[in-house]
Amino acid sequence: MVNNAGIAGNEGPFHEISIEKWQRTQDINLTGTFLGMKHVIPNMLDNGGGSIVNIPSIAGLTGGSGASSYTASKGAVRLLTKATAIDYSKNNIRVNSVHPGYIETPMTSL
Ligand SMILES: NC(=O)c1ccc[n+]([C@@H]2O[C@H](COP(=O)([O-])OP(=O)(O)OC[C@H]3O[C@@H](n4cnc5c(N)ncnc54)[C@H](O)[C@@H]3O)[C@@H](O)[C@H]2O)c1
Residues 11, 59 contacting (CB under 8 angstroms)? no
Over range 42-67, report the average pLDDT.
95
Residues with CB under 6 A from ligand 1: 4-8, 28, 55, 57, 100, 102-103, 105-108
Number of domains comprising the chain = 1
Q: Is 102 a catalytic residue?
A: no
Ligand 1 atom with the shortest distance to the CA of 55:
41
Confidence of residue 110 (pLDDT cuts 50, 70, 90): confident
Any domain includes 16: no
Any domain includes 15: no
Confidence of residue 64 (pLDDT cuts 50, 70, 90): confident
C-alpha 77 – ligand 1 centre gap (Å) = 14
For 20, counting Cβ atoms within 10 Å of its Cβ (0-12 exposed, 13-18 middle, 19+ buried), the class is exposed
Mapped onto helix, strand or coil, the DSSP state of residue 37 is helix
C-alpha 70 – ligand 1 centre gap (Å) = 12
Average pLDDT score, the chain: 96
Beta-carbon contacts of 18 under 8 Å, excluding residues fewer than 6 positions away, are none
Any domain includes 71: yes
> Interior CA angle at 109 toward 53 and 64, to 5°?
65
Predicted local confidence at residue 67, as pLDDT: 93
Any domain includes 64: yes
Q: Which domain holds residue 45?
A: 2-8+23-109
DSSP assignment, residue 65? T
* Residue range 26-50, pLDDT digits in tens: 999 999 999 999 999 999 999 999 9
Any domain includes 94: yes
DSSP assignment, residue 66? T
* CATH code (residue 80): 3.40.50.720
